[in-house]
Structure 1
């Protein structure tokens, strides 16, 4: 069973739309938003607090279990199309053998 990991750079609403799309696809039984394992060490009293570089869309990580490679390919195509429509960035993590 392929486990797909993807990162979405966009608003909470965009991530919710992608999750809703994924739950509507046949064969997808498990979708989970996972926490970022790396802390960003943003302090309120930091000299860089509030700079333009710190403001922007959030990053979200999703894990999706697909029953087979064909369904995983359909998931990727559907997410890419929706990401284009929503104007968000989606990165897919792949594990090379």
Structure 2
């Protein structure tokens, strides 16, 4: 079964809404937040310079296991929801 990997960034509640929309698709076997802690460790700390970077939303890495016939639907749902929720989605081959 294909594995879809994506990074989602934005407000935590909006991220949850997008993930729940994907979980609601029939035939989706597995949706998991992957290693959120390591993303926080990778973030540069710019607190002393008060840069906009300090105000960014959460970043979540998500893996979705879906049947081949549902891959395009998962991508479309993620893209449409990201536009409606004003969050960013990036599809990646690996994290």
TM bucket by the smaller chain?
0.7 to 0.9
| Matched residue, 1:77 | 76
Normalising by structure 2, we get a TM-score of 0.83
1:65 equivalenced with 2:85 (yes/no) = no
| Matched residue, 2:20 | 20
**Gap runs ≥5 in structure 2:** none
Max radius of gyration: which structure?
A: 1
| Matched residue, 1:40 | 42
Q: Displaced runs of 4+ in structure 1, greater than 6 A?
A: none
3-state SS of paired residue (2:83): helix
CA distance in 1, matches of 2:18, 2:73: 13
Q: How many residues align?
A: 90
Bigger helix share: 2
Normalising by structure 1, we get a TM-score of 0.81
**Gap runs ≥5 in structure 1:** none
| Matched residue, 2:87 | 88
Please report the RMSD computed on the Cα atoms of aligned residues, expressed in angstroms: 1.9
